Amino acid sequence: MLAAFYERPGPAREVLQLGELPDPQPRPAEVRVRMRWSGVNPSDVKSRAGSRGPTLPFPRIVPHSDGMGEIDAVGAGVPTGRIGERVWLWNAAWGRADGTAAQFTCLPATQALRLPDGVPDEAGACFGIPALTALHAVLTDGGVAGQRVLVAAGAGAVGHYAVQFARLLGARQVLATASTPAKQALARDAGADVVVDYRQPGAADQLREATQGQGVDRIVEMDIAANAALDLAVMRPGATWAVYGSGAREFQLPFFPLIAQEALLRFFIVYHLRPADRARAEGLLHDFLMRGVLRHNIAQRVPLRDIVRAHELVESGQAGGNVVVQVD
């Protein structure tokens, strides 16, 4: 099969290769998926770049945890009726050598979920990380019904879904940050009531004013290191700070405002969702997909042969949404 892979960490154009690898065969309890689309996330790019350490956990890694395709073979114990099913995948490259940037991947049958009819193929490559991260950020710690919610990066791969999920799950007001007018429009189209450019000096004041001075009940944060001061200025007492990213490895937080606000600081990583949380998020996602109420912000579709460009786009932070690689 044709696959993208790397055998040492480093810059995309130095280490990513395209070549033939043996077709994988499903083991017991696994399915084999003929990939159509492979989703590229910042996490895949950081792993390839070596930010998780100078050595790889496997001699060769086919990158990307997210993807969409069709089951074409099953291992022992998996019903043959699943052959032909359109599926979306999660955690394909988390703790595993064989991700989705290849013509085939084998993985546990439980990590290949039926894609509801009518959902575009390439959207299925955006669920495992972006959509489930966004859903968990709004579901955790009691959910967002009746809340004022601030979503950082309302046009980002995760943020764009988070705005929609907050809206769909009953938030009273959804606020978002985004830099350019085009990104602000994306966040507004996703359902944000108020969108503010986080780079402007008066951003915190604008956000607070938009809440009539009340502050927000929940912040869905993609870069706590960069946005801590803004977040602290706009949260109301008892707010939940749902943090899924940081632009810096280390950062400082001031003790007094946090204790005075009695803030709940919730860090999480989507790869480690507990089974009950994952099941709840997947159930809701499928419900929204079947109702056809979600927009998918696919910014770039890149052929597998241009895998380096796909990684560099994600690395730049300027893709303006999800980057998906066409495999078939």
The residues binding ligand NAP (CB under 6 A) are: 41-43, 129-130, 133, 152-153, 155-159, 177-180, 183, 198, 222-223, 226-227, 244-245, 268-270, 317, 319
Helix axes 275-291, 132-139, angle to 10 degrees: 110
Indicate the residue whose CB is closest to ligand NAP.
Answer: 156
Tokens of 127: 């669920």
Tokens of 216: 């927000």
Interstrand relation of 235-243 and 264-267 (parallel, antiparallel or unpaired): parallel
Whichever of 74 and 135 has its CB closer to ligand NAP, that residue is: 135
Nearest to 109 by CA among 28, 52, 178, 185: 28
Whichever of 3 and 222 has its CB closer to ligand NAP, that residue is: 222
How far CA 205 is from CA of 142, 193, 208, 232, in Å, comes to: 27, 16, 5, 12
Minimum separation from the CB atom of position 61 to ligand NAP (A): 17
Cβ atoms 206, 179 nearer than 8 A: no
Whichever of 226 and 233 has its CB closer to ligand NAP, that residue is: 226
Whichever of 107 and 137 has its CB closer to ligand NAP, that residue is: 137
Tokens of 263: 């803030």
Minimum separation from the CB atom of position 98 to ligand NAP (A): 20
Whichever of 72 and 268 has its CB closer to ligand NAP, that residue is: 268
Q: How far apart are CA 210 and CA 219, in angstroms?
A: 15
Minimum separation from the CB atom of position 326 to ligand NAP (A): 19
Minimum separation from the CB atom of position 270 to ligand NAP (A): 3
Whichever of 235 and 270 has its CB closer to ligand NAP, that residue is: 270
Nearest to 231 by CA among 249, 248, 254: 254
Minimum separation from the CB atom of position 112 to ligand NAP (A): 20
Minimum separation from the CB atom of position 156 to ligand NAP (A): 3
Nearest to 299 by CA among 316, 282, 287, 285: 316
